[in-house]
Structure 1
Amino acid sequence: MGSINRIKPAPLMEITKEQAAESVWMITEMAKKAQVIVAHNAEFDQKWFGSSNNGKSLLPVLLNSNNEPLRWVCTCTEFKWPRQIRFGQSLIELAAAHDVGIFGNHRALTDCQLIAYLFDRMENLNAMFEVALRPKAWFKALVTYDNRELAKKAGFKWIPERQIWVMKMAVEDTKELPFMVSPIEFCQ
């Protein structure tokens, strides 16, 4: 874990099983009151909830009050920020571009606070959520080797095993790309 988030193992070892169980209970209770889960680079955060590591679940799937899994919304890939310079911009860069003060290191709580402050600055946050929540599909970029930078700049991810550039996006957004795409079935 320390190689991922630079948190030293010693403080984590001081947490009792009861404290850990209470924390998980608190998170699951908060989820029941939520409509969506918001994260910057949600793909990273989502893997800790309901995913498995050697067959054991790390944290439970977060469910709403109807016992349905909550939808994750990524502020990095699914939001279009007014002062965004490029696709996939870091949260710190976005905060600075929107005149939000940076007040701490990259940590979960600080990231949540930065997202909240960014949301406070948006004039039409509901419209931003409507765009972010549109149905998505996986697409393959139809680019030549010489034009691969176009796919990268648009936010497509290179999958070396399949030798393709892929991205999950709304169908209507494909019309804005400077290259053609093809829908694919893709499992990460």
Structure 2
Amino acid sequence: MRIGTLLIIGAIAYFGFMSQQEKDVTDTFLSTMYNFVKEKISQIGNQVDRNNSSQLIKLLIDNDGYNLDQTNDLLGKDINGNEIRDDLDALLQSKFQNYQNKEEISKIAKAMQDFISVKCQSNNESQCKLTHDKLQGVYQEISRKQFCDANKNCISPEDIYEYVKKVTYNTTNRIEVFNHNMKAMDNSR
């Protein structure tokens, strides 16, 4: 049997034991991750510079030994009060310590956490729009920056953004609120 067939059979068996809501969340997450990985593989295949490709692969896979918070708490612990989960902050500070514009990476994480700090409802639409606009503004700001280390190994702003998104929204609860808020913002236009 081919590996793909085995994966499909395993997924069918796995989904058989889940509630509809869990299936929907898992399906959305898997679909998002599949498209993300597919896009990254395509980008890696199209890159000429192998240093950048190896940097991207390392970025996507390696959390440098950090265990990210997996609790149901949306925002996690923030002992230093910088509005970024402490585990996430430590990972990003370590991973990008030798990169220019590393302070911009913290702005991304902060904006992403702000966006899920409240679940968008009709009674807080203006607050949700503010956090959504802030997230979009940070994305626009970083898209004009370069993220290179001292050896001139560079990672695109898009890859930085997607990585921070992956490690920020790293639990089902965080993904659910992010997806809900994005959908609410799409519907408000």
| Higher-helix-fraction structure | 2
- Whether the TM-score (by the shorter chain) exceeds 0.5 is no
Of structures 1 and 2, the one scoring higher in RCO (CA 8 A, sep 6+) is: 2
TM range (shorter): under 0.3
| Higher-strand-fraction structure | 1
